[in-house]
Chains A and B, each alone.
Chain A
Amino acid sequence: MNRPFRPVSRLVALLFLGLLAGVAGAAPAKVAAAADLRFALAELAEQFRDDTGHAVSLSFGSSGTFAHQIEHGAPFELFLSADEAFVLRLADAGRTVDRGVLYAIGRLVVFAPHGSPFEVDEELRGLGAALADGRIERFAIANPEHAPYGRAARAALEHAGLWQAVEPRLALGENASQAMQFASSGASQGGIVPLSLSKAAPVAALGRFALIPTDWHAGEPLRQRMVLLRTAGEAARAFYAYLQTPTAREVLVRYGFALPGEAPP
């Protein structure tokens, strides 16, 4: 009758080993970043680690979701939003060190994967024609409820007079990078997504894109602000400073961001 017990005791031993393995080394800076920064910030975090030895742990998602999570006590130390409003709201709620700084201005593109039945152009004429004759079945943007790029995409579509035609065909990404995934995978005919994602090597190979003029979404200018949260440690503060250096700003420009205080290209 002793035999059946053996697997159980072995399991218990395993459990304890597992818990012992749970203790980790020095904690990296916890950064919550808007999804449009996925490629640019990964590169910057790697450079920063090589330069300073500080590790950075990156979480990407929609700015609205992060703001909500931070309000509920999520342990992030630095928050890079895709707009200003979420940062300023957290500052007013006393969650941040100060009111933060603008670090970039985001740009929108209309993206069509290879084989898509419409031509991309900066005034969305090709998209309008394709919508009119039913060539668009699904069109991706980020969810305007909580993603700044979704709101900007809606503003641009409204400016072009296409919102009503496109609305029943929308596939909403939870954040800008899921919208990018939807827009480029071929599952939809295209989407309005961040330039910073469209330009990145793994995505640029999947289709073509055209810049949308900034004044088409003037009400949603994608002025991206970052802020240190009250829990920020040394590594997070160093990364915050690093992101404001000319070296880091050069990387942001390479990924298609405009810099605050400069005229958009």
Chain B
Amino acid sequence: MDWPAIVLSAELALATLLVLLPLAVGVARWLAVTSIRGKAWIEGLLALPLVLPPTVLGYYLLVAMGSQSTFGRWFEALLGHTLAFSFTGLVVASVIFNIPFAVQPIQRAFEGIAPDIREAAQCCGLRFWQAFRKVELPLAWPGILSAAVMTFAHTLGEFGVVLMVGGNIPGETRTVAISIYDRTQGFDHASAGAMSLLLLVISLVTIAISYGLVDRLLRHRRLR
């Protein structure tokens, strides 16, 4: 087992959640209620990482974050190192490729809240933030938790983007998924096998939790 890689993957997943989840809640809440023109295009753009080959995303991120782009040089001046091939760069990449995994379950949850509940909250004299915090968030939490769990698991498993923008630097960008690839090439099947099994179990547990949460969300709605 490559423990540093496992720890690194967990850190990456947590950092991704910390950055992405608040943003996703905001965007998902807005998308759930808005009816502006071009909404389908916005939703499409946010869902793009689902269908885009990871190598395409990886290529664009590499070009954008490398020391040969303006953006990359700007970051280099700011951080003292390039964004590509660094943990910070992985977090940026990971936030981007997880957008649909975070936004979609939360959006579905907010969409499931009937408009009359929001109106009732308003009639009770709750201000927007009060209603959001005391009425909407509690109703949407299974969606938010489901988003968190999916994002976490998806980050642990992402390979293509990480390989392209991160390289394979121990303790910096070598995640579990990359380590499995690396150990296989290094004829270390014991280690590759153990880590593969670990990811398999985590993935299964994640999906089970996520399905359980969706179930709960649906039951919630039927009761209403």
Contacts and interface: CB of A to CB of B under 8 A. Distances in A.
B66 A72 contact: yes
A59 B17 CA distance: 28
Interface stretch (B28-36, B112-120, B167-175, B200-208): B167-175
Contacts of A73: 66-67, 72, 76, 81-82, 84-85
Nearest to A74: B85
Given A22-B11, A72-B67, A8 B145 contact: yes
Given A8-B141, A19-B14, A178 B185 contact: yes
Contact of B17 (A1, A15, A22, A69): A15
Interface residues of A, number: 38
Contact of B14 (A15, A58, A59): A15
A57 B167 contact: no
Given A1-B138, A35-B185, A59-B169, A72 B62 contact: yes
Contacts of B87: 22
A14 interface: yes
Nearest to B149: A11
A24 B86 contact: no
Contacts of A180: 185, 187
B173 to A, nearest CB: 9
A181 B134 CA distance: 57
Contact of A175 (B68, B167, B185, B188): B185
Contacts of A5: 137-138, 141
B11 A202 contact: no
A175 B148 CA distance: 36
A225 interface: no
Contacts of B14: 14-15, 18-19
Interface string A8-34: 100100110011011010001010000
Interface in B184-214: 184-188
B18 interface: yes
A57 B170 contact: yes
Most B Cβ at <10 Å: residue of A14, A72, A203: A72
Nearest to B83: A73
A154 B14 CA distance: 45
Nearest to A11: B148
Contact of A38 (B7, B174, B186): B186
A192 to B, nearest CB: 17
A150 interface: no
Contacts of B82: 72-75
Nearest to A1: B138
Contacts of B11: 18-19, 21-22
B68 A72 contact: yes
A75 B86 contact: yes
B18 A19 contact: yes
A177 B182 CA distance: 9
Contact of B141 (A4, A71, A184): A4
A193 B145 CA distance: 49
B134 A1 contact: yes
Contact of A69 (B10, B76, B85): B85
B15 interface: yes
Interface of B: 7, 10-11, 14-15, 17-18, 62, 66-68, 72, 76, 81-82, 84-87, 134, 137-138, 141, 144-145, 148, 167-172, 174, 182, 184-188
Interface of A: 1, 4-5, 7-8, 11, 14-15, 18-19, 21-22, 24, 28, 30, 35, 38, 57-61, 69, 71-76, 175, 177-178, 180-181, 184, 200, 202-203
